[in-house]
Amino acid sequence: MVSLTGGNRNDVTQLLPLLDKIPPVAGVVGRPRRRPDMLFADRGYDHDKYRRLLRQRGIRPAIAERGQPHGTGLGTFRRVVERTISWLHGFRRLRIRWKRRADIHEAFLGLAACLITHCLRAS
């Protein structure tokens, strides 16, 4: 799931809108799932307000705490996200935003995400 925002927006403001965009996931028989069981996040999301809002939605937050030493194990999951962002930066049109129109940039972002997931499935 990707979302396009301005460069000067704080990431934490987009947490709940991004969770609301998750489409239903088909799986076992029954009602499709609409939310994850757990959310991994770095120290930028460490605030009681967001922990509470996630718990109200039935999502268990695994958010690194500020002022605590590393070693929580979140780095193994963070590596996947950082690697994917670096793959997105491999596309020239996404590294620097050349087009002013957001719909064009979002189309290239979606195309890059499709190419990355296709290459992951092929290997």
From the CB of residue 41, how many other CB atoms can be counted at a distance below 10 Å?
21
Give pLDDT, residue 73.
61
Q: What is the average per-residue pLDDT within 41-46? A: 81
**51-92 pLDDT, tens per residue?**
999 999 888 988 888 877 766 566 666 677 778 878 888 888
Cβ 67 vs Cβ 35: under 8 Å: no
Give pLDDT, residue 47.
87
Give pLDDT, residue 64.
80
What mean pLDDT value characterizes the chain?
80
Q: Which residue, 15, 10, 37, 13, is CA-closest to 25?
A: 37
Q: Residue 42's pLDDT band (boundaries 50, 70, 90)?
A: confident
Q: What is the average per-residue pLDDT within 33-62? A: 86
C-alpha 100/C-alpha 76 separation (Å) is 36
Query: How is the chain split into domains, by residue range?
Result: 11-122
Q: Tell me: domain 11-122, CATH 3.30.420, correct?
A: yes
